Homo-oligomer: A and B are copies of this chain.
């Protein structure tokens, strides 16, 4: 099969050939009364024989089922996006130096309509061609570390990112930007918050919800916000820069341990949970929203602690959950379990024996809440008190995702159970917020 039809087979391939269409062409598919127009793009190697994938004008892709009555017409050659040749940007020597590291994801890519392949576009000159404003904010050194969709980022990658960031933090770099897919951006932000301690400069993660080839793309504004923060922000912490609202007016800077992806498609998907963002950027102007942050200090010496241990599980409780799943983790050498319990930090009494087993096997069992917002309090009801008595560790208002990352990180530092417990309860990277009145209302 030629590359032109990559992924298509059977009926779908037959129909495409009959229409004399190729990957990249604009085609119209008519199924009874419904018609779809879009660019024919390649399909997954796991694909069946009955669907054709179109990139619609909106930028989204859909799969259209081919039946005996389906009509396919080729209505045009795909409009190949022409990327301007990179302008001859002269780096302005007075501007701060910012290192940009790409790990992949939507923000780091543009779609090649010819093949449908996603291409990383993060050499400095590519970036300047897509976002020319960057040249007025900073001198950029762009490097590609990986090209991964972020659902494929694992704790091993967190280690590699942390080590790579540490290498970029030299005497004359004012900040680091990490381009990353949004799916697990919150997890990586938490991971780097623990792995990169005592930072001299800001480390800003950034993603985008719509690729640069879509009219509604947030890639450029997010990137400008991230580079602005890296170059000029007064704080030296791991943070995440994304749209604050659905419109393009403001970028919110969220603390790495307190942020979560809260919408599948909106541009303002990331929210600071149980706290406010630490800063807002509008028109390249940074407004700090808290006074409680670690100040930038180029003389501070980074403490790199990049190890993570994957023998930590996140288990979300639900009615009817089989507690044997906890025993499975004991038998499979797990060192820690983060429970995503209900309400103030509960799971069913049917899980108590399994939890007791885990604690007796020297496994750390700690509690967070699937409510997402609010603080757990295991002293209010019997279930909570019983769980505390069994040895479950209550984790205040930490996100379940951050708790999981933190426990992986702790076991990367030590296997001494007393030390693990102590670190788990210690506020290392602002993962616990101060108790406020409003959370009680």
Contact = CB atoms under 8 A, between A and B. Distances in A.
A121 B264 CA distance: 43
A385 interface: yes
B371 A262 contact: yes
Contact of A46 (B184, B264, B374, B390): B390
A44 interface: yes
Count of this chain's copies in the oligomeric assembly: 2
A314 B318 contact: yes
Interface stretch (A85-93, A127-135, A294-302, A336-344): A336-344
Instruction: Name, among A181, A320, A440, the residue most crowded by chain B CB atoms within 10 Å (CB to CB).
Output: A320
A308 B320 CA distance: 10
A183 B346 contact: yes
A375 interface: yes
A397 B60 CA distance: 17
Contacts of A352: 46
Contact of A264 (B263, B321, B350, B374): B374
A347 interface: yes
Interface in A352-369: 352, 369
A180 to B, nearest CB: 12
Given A328-B325, A343-B182, A62 B379 contact: yes
Given A320-B310, A349-B152, A377 B183 contact: no
A403 to B, nearest CB: 11
Interface string A369-405: 1111111110111110110111000000000010011
Interface stretch (A167-175, A229-237, A265-273): A265-273
A155 B318 CA distance: 10
Given A319-B184, A372-B372, A44 B385 contact: yes
A304 interface: no
A264 B344 contact: yes
B350 A154 contact: yes
A306 to B, nearest CB: 15
A441 interface: yes
A371 B149 contact: no
A320 B381 contact: no
A158 B318 CA distance: 13
B310 A343 contact: no
Interface in A98-149: 118, 149
Given A265-B374, A322-B313, A373-B263, A152 B350 contact: yes
A106 to B, nearest CB: 8
A187 B319 contact: yes
A423 interface: no
A264 B377 contact: yes
A325 B380 CA distance: 33
A149 B382 contact: yes
A332 interface: yes
A434 B153 CA distance: 33
Nearest to A397: B264
Contacts of A371: 261-264, 269
Contact of A348 (B151, B345, B375, B376): B151
A379 B266 contact: no
Contacts of A381: 149
A18 to B, nearest CB: 23
B63 A379 contact: yes
A441 B261 CA distance: 15
A309 B428 CA distance: 43
B439 A266 contact: yes
A280 to B, nearest CB: 19
A76 interface: no
A47 interface: yes
A414 interface: no
Given A63-B379, A154-B319, A261-B342, 17 more contacts: A43-B385, A44-B382, A44-B385, A60-B377, A150-B342, A151-B347, A184-B342, A263-B371, A264-B343, A264-B371, A264-B373, A265-B439, A267-B441, A269-B374, A310-B320, A310-B322, A372-B372
